[in-house]
Structure 1
């Protein structure tokens, strides 16, 4: 709510680097329809991989990790009925929440939606989900030595329903007014929701999942094809520092939103650049088999898996990758290690 209290004063003057990044975002948005028409197969592959990356990365940011990659893949595919650990349960919950949002039937944005997402997040656990916090909470930082410092103080539990409702109302009003860039408004919504910290647990995951949905609702759908959560996980220290820098003075209406907004817009711009690079790679004149060979010989780790090739070359099908790997094996350039899902390939020393 605080960030929307005097929006004209707060974000009327957009810093130059943010203007540049927003330009990249808007150009990328304008290209999405072209890619949907010309590269539907590539987009389906990118969407499948981004879904997995988003669920696992957003969960990992909060320490929710399933070490067995093959089992994690089965959980995300809905093929595991007995979830063994709390991490597996929460991974399945985030899967359900994100899939619900990506199906596009989540509107309208209201407090009930946030409670529903939180309930889905913890539906497979014994923890209570679907309710706002009942006790005041703190966001703390723990150093490697175990020292605990207070990062910021969220709003009081008793005030949470009001603050959430007021934030949503003001956000929707500003989006309808169309006086400010929608990406900045989505970023401010995420910032305020994280500062309100409406739940005892799961605040980051609910906010990140909802951010994707709000961006798509505003016409910025790149998160379907490039995982914003993965980009955040790869820059986690910067992510937390930007949030912290923009919370100072929030309760007194004197916080500076630009550290967070600059980070947020740059993550989105990076996603659009990545999307364009992958689309351009798929449309290149070179043979897809040549591209696989080039990657294996010159760019892949000394020991690599099929998944590494898929990630590097999203427009290339698994059968094409296997043809090239088999040919390189017969040439003695690579040799297999292991079997099944754990199988890997190692380049031979020459």
Structure 2
């Protein structure tokens, strides 16, 4: 439905941009970032200068407060950009047995992995995801490196200890076992959605780094979904599902410690995927003006200009549009161009025109 929807090509970039902003906002907000979605979108729009590739701030200059919130957003965008380099080109699906493999001898300090069509999921990728997540936030010798200290997890409200992750000396072995299982025949037999959920939980449980474990775990689970073919044009944001009711997210994770089995967590995880995919499906249906539009336009895919997309968006929000509204919306465009765009949308059976002269209104075709 999503792949073949008539309006998807015109809206694809917008959907992906919105989904990425939601992933970054909700993924950081879930960990206590105070920036709202609009502020995050403002940060993502320009090329930020707070963090640059060649800058190497000292540990004494690590950002705090709002500056840290901004840095977290910049960092998580870098993580999403990195995941993009690891996912095969759109329209291709990696062979099942080459999607998730373990590189022999890989460890958390090996750095990045060369990109290509078939990217193995390895501790090296885990390390790079974490390094990007905490760059300029943690000291350089902690970014992408397994922790060397014991940590405890406390309830943010009651401050009670809710979980004690494994000791630091256990971390390398546990990570190695996890990635070996992912690559094993036994692991490959597990459905990809469940495998992504297990990866997510295990990284949270092992807590391999001093900070940034939640964002790293969610990014790795997302990467596994992408590599397993659950890309769905990158229109979805599981982080929004988690952040809508964070207490349910953390409760589902903690349920494994209480019950000593993964069922409750995996039910929660797969429900979130189902909810997000159905949301995207509904959105695409709506913007395709329901299924009957496809037969109305002869099943062809429609290409719209950026101006036309703005017009359709306006009508989606307000129900109609007149020339006065259009002039405000497209203030730098001549009336002749506006009328040409509107006539084209009518010709494409997307809009209907009612009235004449100054009273003309345009509506989405039902």
TM bracket, shorter-chain basis = 0.5 to 0.7
Q: 1: distance between equivalents of 2:81 and 2:28?
A: 14
Distance 1:82 1:174, change over 3 A: same
Q: Which residue of 2 aligns with 1:97?
A: 79
1:198-277 alignment, distance < 5 Å: 198-222=208-232, 224-248=234-258, 255-277=260-282
1:180-191 paired onto structure 2 within 5 Å? 180-191=190-201
Q: 2:11 touches 2:309 (CA, 8 Å); kept in 1?
A: no
List runs of 5+ in structure 1 lacking aligned partners: 1-30, 250-254, 289-315, 332-350
**Does structure 1 residue 75 correspond to structure 2 residue 43?**
yes
1:68 deviates by 8.7
Q: C-alpha deviations, 1:237-293, integer Å up to 9, x for none?
A: 1111110011236xxxxx11011000000000001111110111112269x9xxxxx
Number of the residue aligned with 1:300: none
Name the structure with the higher helix share: 1
Partner of 2:137: 125
CA 1:223/1:198 → structure 2, altered by over 3 Å: closer, same or farther?
A: farther
Aligned residues of 1:74 and 1:80 also touching (Cα < 8 A): no
The RMSD of aligned alpha carbons is: 3.1
Other structure's SS at 2:160 match: strand
Count of residue correspondences: 265
Q: Show CA shifts across 1:297-347 (max 9, x none).
A: xxxxxxxxxxxxxxxxxxx8224445786958969xxxxxxxxxxxxxxxx
TM-score (normalizing by structure 2): 0.65
Residue pair 1:175, 1:182 contacting (<8 A) in 2 also: no
Q: In 2, are the aligned partners of 1:58 and 1:233 still within 8 Å (CA)?
A: yes
Equivalent residue number for residue 16 of structure 2: 47
Q: Secondary structure at the match of 1:151?
A: strand
Match of 2:55 in 1: none
Please list, as runs of the form range in 1=range in 2, the aligned pairs for 1:243-322 lying within 5 A after superposition.
243-248=253-258, 255-284=260-289, 317-322=309-314
User: Unmatched 5+ residue regions in structure 2?
Assistant: 52-65, 88-114, 294-307, 326-366
Q: Does 1:172 align with 2:183?
A: yes
Mapped partners of 1:120, 1:48: distance in 2: 20
1:51-98 C-alpha deviation (Å, 9 max, x unpaired): 11101110000012335934x324323522136711111111111011
**Contact 1:50–1:223 (CA under 8 A) maintained in structure 2:** no
State how far apart, in whole Å, the 2-side matches of 1:140 and 1:48 are.
Answer: 34
Hey, what's the Cα distance between the residues in 2 that align with 1:194 and 1:219? Answer: 24
| TM-score, normalising length: structure 1 | 0.68
Separation in structure 1 between the aligned mates of residue 177 and residue 272 of structure 2, nearest angstrom? 27
